[in-house]
Amino acid sequence: MKITNEEWFEKRFREYRRCLEQEDTRSLMIKLRDIILETRDKNKTIYFAGNGASTTIASHAALDYTNQLGVKSHAMNDPNFITCFANDFGYNDFMERTVKLFADPDDVIILISSSGESQNTINAATRAKTLGCKVVTFTGFDQQNSLRKLGDVNFWLDSDDYNVVESIHSLWLVTVCDIIADSERDQIGLHGRRL
């Protein structure tokens, strides 16, 4: 039996509401907030990375964290680096190579993967750990995914729908940015830049 448009919307929005209210998500956001503030205080850098749509989420987050919070943040998605490193070392190693060449101890590597099984994110997390970086993961699908096992802080979404997982990952990342920005509102300039 075909469902109506209203039934479809209600089902989809019910799924988003369920995902937003998952247990532990708020405490994880507070942990990430504290990591971001510590990173800024130490003048360290946050690197964001993902594949496909997760790359777009990484870019959005890097921009917001830099512009609104004054944290040095970069998305590991420069096409020149990706194509060079993928060509020379293999696609599964381009993120690891970027981490190896750019990250320093106490930097933060935020890896976004819907499945948590993208080999290049797993390799990047492994390399980041050896360098003394903090690793934060955003995954979905299987709760026991490989990437989640490597993180210091792990956001996991109980869904196997790509669009739901990606949308909630993006919302979680910008919410953490907003937590910090709102608490520092008196220090924030007209356009959201720290004074």
102 inside domain: yes
Half-sphere exposure of 49 toward its Cβ, with a 13 Å CA cutoff?
A: 30
36 inside domain: yes
Q: Which CATH number do you get for residue 51?
A: 3.40.50.10490
Question: pTM, whole model, 2 decimals?
Answer: 0.91
188 inside domain: no
Tell which phi-psi region holds residue 146, choosing left (phi > 0), alpha (psi between -120 and 50) or beta.
alpha
91 inside domain: yes
Let me know: does 36 contact 161? Beta carbons within 8 Å: no
189 inside domain: no
Q: Which domain holds residue 156?
A: 24-183
Tally of domains in the chain: 1
12 inside domain: no
Half-sphere exposure of 156 toward its Cβ, with a 13 Å CA cutoff?
A: 20
pLDDT of 12-40, one tens digit each? 999 998 888 887 899 999 999 999 999 99
143 inside domain: yes
19 inside domain: no
pLDDT of 136-181, one tens digit each? 999 999 999 999 999 999 999 999 999 999 999 999 999 999 999 9
